[in-house]
Amino acid sequence: MELFAEKNQCCGCMACADICPKGAISARADREGFWYPEIRQELCVDCGQCAAVCPLSGGKSEKRSRRYFAAQAKDPALRGVSTSGAMFPILAEQVLEGGGAVYGAAFDGAMRVAHRRAAGREELEPLLQTKYVQSSTAGIFRRVRQDLAEGRQVLFVGTPCQTEALRRFCPEKAPGLVLADLICYGVPSPGVWERYVSHLEKKHRGRLTAFHFRDKRKGNDGHTVSYTAGGQEYVKDYLADLFSAMYFSNLMHRPSCHSCPFTTVERNSDLTIGDFWGVEKVFPEWNDGMGTSLVIVHSERGQALWDRVCGRLRWGECQKEDVLQPRLLSPTQPASKRGRFFALYRALPFGLFLKLFQHHKVRRFLYAE
């Protein structure tokens, strides 16, 4: 068996495994904890479907007329339990009310992050909130295609590479599919996350049952982390949480994130959603610390869904230059000592690794020239 692609040319969407007619491709985690496709050459028939579905295999975005919006749910409770301005649950509820299905990222029973299907409001709850971990999409592309074949509308929300993979995976111009991609900072290692979960459970002597990367209770645009372990809730500043601190130090992003081709407003999805960073400059009266969504409408299909939900929103239209935050201009750059970070991660017991990081000794080592 051999790796299917160079690591900086693979985003880990695993659409290649889902589309392979011979089951020749499977996922394998590397020493940094990222998934990569592994191919059994004796099963491969060189059909080329895996290459065709790969979102990093080239191709340009279509030339389109785009619209740009700031949006907040009128329902304050919905904003409180959602990231940004609650655009995702507004879109999702509209699709579910029409008998459709919604796909997004959720924690499973072991606090791993994976895409999940929701067909009702009660199933939507786990999909809310940001998860700063790469989600597994194993089997999801096939399930979406089945929903579309049965005549259902589908809303799929994921990273830009995941949505582009699904666009290539599904029948051309599948009429029921709406693709909403995220303004993505980059995905951190699922392997590091799993070890962090184990660390918290050991530290607090009980199972981790909830984790919120963007808790809004302090009205600080979600710059608070909260989690429940052993039946007890813990709340802290987001950079006091060690996993978040490592993530926002750019130390553990997937290699392909640093050359991401989707860090632009020009995408082939129907909608792009994310935080409207800089809203205080465009709509200063909206800056209440509870989040505002940025919505980019790329297509007629996206516009049609926007038109159906905008009555539930406080919204304002703006110009392209108003929304050009960093991740719509260029990829996140790696920390200069990313290699040292993962060398220590592999060499040390995880608890010791975190203790050193917390006391800045690892940081001094990482950033020393």
Give residue-wise pLDDT tens across range 189-247.
Answer: 999 999 999 999 999 999 999 999 999 999 999 999 999 999 999 999 998 999 999 99
Whether the pLDDT of residue 136 is over 70: the answer is: yes
Question: How many domains does the chain divide into?
Answer: 3
**Total number of residues shown for the chain:** 369
Residue 134 forms part of a structural domain: yes
Predicted local distance difference test score (pLDDT) of residue 358: 83
Residue 224 forms part of a structural domain: yes
**Distance separating alpha carbons of residues 111 and 108, to the nearest angstrom:** 5
**Is residue 71 domain-shared with residue 152, that is, in the same domain?**
yes
Give the predicted TM-score (pTM) of the model.
Answer: 0.95
Confidence category of residue 353, pLDDT binned at 50, 70, 90: very high
**Distance separating alpha carbons of residues 227 and 249, to the nearest angstrom:** 21
**Is residue 162 domain-shared with residue 284, that is, in the same domain?**
yes
Q: For residue 244, which phi and psi values (nearest 5 degrees)? A: -65, -40
Whether the pLDDT of residue 41 is over 80: the answer is: yes
Residue 58 forms part of a structural domain: no
DSSP structure class, residue 118:
E
Kind plus residue range of the DSSP H or E element containing 154: strand 154-158
Residue 367 forms part of a structural domain: no
Q: For residue 131, which phi and psi values (nearest 5 degrees)? A: -120, 115
Whether the pLDDT of residue 161 is over 70: the answer is: yes
296: which strand partners? 68, 272
**Is residue 148 domain-shared with residue 272, that is, in the same domain?**
yes
**Is residue 160 domain-shared with residue 306, that is, in the same domain?**
yes
**Is residue 172 domain-shared with residue 78, that is, in the same domain?**
yes
Whether the pLDDT of residue 268 is over 70: the answer is: yes
Range of the domain at 268: 67-187+253-328
The burial class, CB within 10 Å (0-12 / 13-18 / 19+), for 159 is buried
Buried b (16+ CB within 10 A) or exposed e, 87-126: bbbbbbbbbbeeebbbbbbbbeeebebbbbbbeeeeebee
The region, left, alpha or beta by phi > 0 then psi within -120 to 50, assigned to residue 140 is: alpha
**Is residue 161 domain-shared with residue 278, that is, in the same domain?**
yes
Instruction: Tell me the percentage of the chain whose pLDDT exceeds 90.
Output: 88
First to last CA, the chain: 38
**Distance separating alpha carbons of residues 77 and 68, to the nearest angstrom:** 25
Predicted local distance difference test score (pLDDT) of residue 21: 96
**Is residue 97 domain-shared with residue 146, that is, in the same domain?**
yes
Predicted local distance difference test score (pLDDT) of residue 360: 65
**Is residue 248 domain-shared with residue 258, that is, in the same domain?**
no
Q: What is the mean pLDDT of residues 61-90?
A: 92
Q: Which residues contact 182 (CB under 8 A, 6 or more apart)?
A: 157, 158, 159, 160, 272, 273, 274
Q: Are 37 and 17 in contact (CB under 8 A)?
A: yes
Kind plus residue range of the DSSP H or E element containing 212: strand 208-212
**Is residue 161 domain-shared with residue 109, that is, in the same domain?**
yes
